[in-house]
């Protein structure tokens, strides 16, 4: 029948007893459910989302959260309760094998605290909680086996082992999956950023598994509008019990910094801001349950980390696309960003924040803080010094930006920044230079992005000190240059 899963519990005999009880209870529940269906009884059903896209190519998958769906496969986790009633077809006392599972969990405090953490000793609802959790365990294993048409004892045990790990293992491993909101990568299937972080295409089954309902705190069409995701592989989580993990761990303790860093790296390289609304966990070898035949996927968080320009019904537009050819230096930039010091991280975060700000003044300040982090040093953050360093950095970069132009633009941006932070009234949100008009906030963001790109795409990256040294070397070279020109 196969080996029991490792590191799931301290007591092998107890685990074996539970597995045997679950197997027998699953067979019993299967027979009882089919009998009810033959008798024409109204049974709880599972609503399985259908994959579809809108005319602009965005997925538009919704989860149907009706309490009593009229169609779909049987929901085996909702057929049995403490008593028969409007919500359940059978009482626990009618199914002796399932009652054995309840008895095992009730009779072992350690096992009970993991499988049914809400069933507190002395509570009048204790048995109801234990019954619900045991039915969920047995019903989920049976439902998955039926959904995949794998009903042998070995198959049932495989699914049971995944459920047991989720319930009893002290720690779990899974991939963080953050779908990229409203930005397409049409010719990218899987791009390795580095060290277990990927940009990957979301298949139809995953799109359906991550679908949220109309009751979501964020518009479900916005959540759905993603073709790719940032994936951080093999993240380990503590597992005090499934209830604590579902709420405290998922909602408050997930480390999203590498997802944010990947988004920052994409923007630095391409100039296209990317962000996310949803964070999911893709289990590795465990499952809290399944939605019929869809892959296991736990929704962890709904957040709002995406560019302000996507607020509104932006899924009704084609949206930006990033071709694979534009990602050439992405792996290098991401690796260097991961290894960079806190000042570079601060600059990258400020670039990311520029895209979520609603107020133009806030964008200017964020971008200037980022520029200062990169080309400021100690107490010498004078506009002249920073403008000079920025000019040298970008003149030496692959973009070969005119140094004098960069110097003048940085000084103009900082004049606007000074007006904002000292409470002055800005005459305009634009800067005029050489007869051309530029958005101050847009120009500040572009300067910050280009500085980050020049600092991160080379080996080694520059520092304020190395830029100063380059300026001095250039000055020292002037006499020799003049002599060569004179002799020529």
Distances (CA, A) of 211 to 80, 167, 300, 319: 27, 24, 13, 20
Spatial CA neighbour of 312 closest among 222, 398, 380: 222
- What pLDDT is recorded for position 162? 97
User: How many CA atoms lie within 13 Å of 142's alpha carbon, on the beta-carbon side?
Assistant: 27
The runs of H, that is alpha helices, within 203-327 are 204-209, 220-224, 242-244, 257-270
Spatial CA neighbour of 147 closest among 300, 299, 297, 296: 296
For the segment 194-217, what is each residue's pLDDT rounded down to a tens digit?
999 999 999 999 999 999 988 888
Give the pLDDT mean for 242-264: 92
Q: What are phi and psi of 212, to 5 degrees?
A: -115, 165
Give the pLDDT mean for 42-60: 94
Distance of CA 218 to the CA centre of its chain: 15
| Confidence class for position 422, pLDDT limits 50, 70, 90 | confident
Burial 453-485 (b: 16+ CB within 10 A, else e): bbbbbbeebbbbeebbebeeeeeeeeeeeeeee
Q: Give the helix/strand (H/E) hosting 464.
A: helix 464-476
Give the pLDDT mean for 64-90: 87
DSSP of 15-46: HHHHHHHHHHHHHHHHHHHHHHHHTT----B-
For the segment 181-192, what is each residue's pLDDT rounded down to a tens digit?
999 999 999 999
- What pLDDT is recorded for position 479? 57
- What pLDDT is recorded for position 415? 87
Give the pLDDT mean for 376-399: 79
Is residue 273's pLDDT more than 70? yes
| Confidence class for position 26, pLDDT limits 50, 70, 90 | very high
- What pLDDT is recorded for position 480? 52
CA distance 173 to 182: 28
For residue 203, the SS3 value is coil
Higher pLDDT, 163 or 463: 163
The distance in angstroms from the start CA to the end CA of the chain is: 90
Q: What is the pTM of this model?
A: 0.89
Of the listed ranges 35-39, 133-137, 355-359, 448-452, the one predicted with least confidence: 355-359
- What pLDDT is recorded for position 475? 65
Answer for the pair 269, 333: CB distance below 8 angstroms, yes or no.
yes
Compute the residue count for the chain.
488
Average pLDDT, the chain: 89
- What pLDDT is recorded for position 386? 87
CA distance 156 to 168: 18
Give the pLDDT mean for 369-397: 82
- What pLDDT is recorded for position 487? 56
CA distance 243 to 206: 24
pLDDT above 90: percentage of residues in the chain: 65
Answer for the pair 54, 126: CB distance below 8 angstroms, yes or no.
no
CA distance 393 to 44: 65
């Amino acid at each position: 029948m196969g080996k029991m899963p490792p590191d799931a519990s301290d007591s092998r005999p107890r685990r074996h007893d539970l597995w045997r009880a679950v197997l027998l209870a699953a067979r019993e529940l299967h027979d009882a459910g089919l009998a009810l269906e033959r008798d024409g009884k109204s049974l709880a059903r599972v609503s399985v989302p259908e994959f579809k896209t809108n005319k602009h190519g965005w997925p538009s998958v919704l989860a149907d959260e009706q309490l009593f769906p009229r169609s779909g496969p049987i929901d085996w986790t909702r057929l049995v309760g403490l008593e028969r009633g409007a919500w359940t077809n059978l009482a626990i006392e009618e199914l002796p094998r399932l009652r054995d599972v309840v008895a095992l969990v009730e009779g072992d405090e350690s096992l009970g605290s993991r499988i049914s953490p809400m069933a507190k000793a002395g509570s009048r609802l204790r048995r109801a909680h234990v019954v619900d959790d045991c039915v969920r365990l047995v019903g989920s294993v049976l439902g998955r086996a039926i959904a995949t048409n794998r009903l042998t004892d070995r198959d049932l045990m495989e699914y049971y082992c995944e459920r047991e790990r989720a319930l009893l293992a002290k720690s779990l491993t899974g991939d963080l999956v953050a779908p990229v909101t409203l930005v397409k990568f049409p010719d990218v299937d899987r791009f390795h950023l580095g060290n277990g972080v990927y940009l990957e295409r979301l298949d139809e089954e995953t799109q359906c598994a991550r679908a949220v309902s109309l009751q979501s705190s964020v518009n479900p069409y916005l959540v759905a509008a993603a073709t790719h995701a940032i994936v951080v592989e093999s993240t380990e989580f503590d597992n005090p019990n499934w209830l604590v993990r579902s709420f405290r761990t998922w909602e408050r303790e997930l480390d999203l910094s590498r997802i944010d860093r990947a988004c920052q790296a994409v923007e630095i390289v391409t100039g296209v801001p990317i962000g996310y609304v949803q964070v999911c966990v893709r289990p590795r070898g465990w499952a809290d349950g399944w939605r019929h035949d869809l892959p296991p996927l736990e929704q962890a968080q709904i957040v709002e980390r995406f560019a302000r320009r996507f607020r509104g019904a932006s899924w009704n537009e084609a949206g930006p696309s990033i071709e694979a050819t534009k990602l050439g230096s992405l792996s290098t930039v991401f690796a260097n960003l991961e290894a960079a010091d806190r000042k570079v991280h601060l600059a990258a975060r400020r670039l990311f924040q520029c895209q979520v700000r609603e107020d133009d003044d806030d964008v200017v300040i964020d971008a200037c803080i980022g520029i200062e982090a990169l080309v400021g040093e100690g107490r010498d953050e004078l506009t002249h010094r920073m403008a000079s360093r920025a000019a040298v950095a970008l003149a030496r970069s692959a973009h070969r930006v005119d140094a004098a132009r960069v110097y003048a633009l940085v000084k103009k941006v900082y004049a606007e920044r000074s007006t904002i932070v000292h409470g002055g009234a800005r005459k305009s949100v634009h800067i005029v230079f050489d007869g051309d008009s530029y958005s101050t906030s847009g120009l500040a963001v572009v300067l910050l992005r280009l500085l980050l790109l020049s600092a991160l795409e080379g080996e080694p990256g520059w520092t304020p000190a190395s830029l100063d040294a380059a300026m001095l070397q250039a000055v020292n070279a002037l006499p020799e240059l003049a002599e060569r020109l004179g002799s020529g």
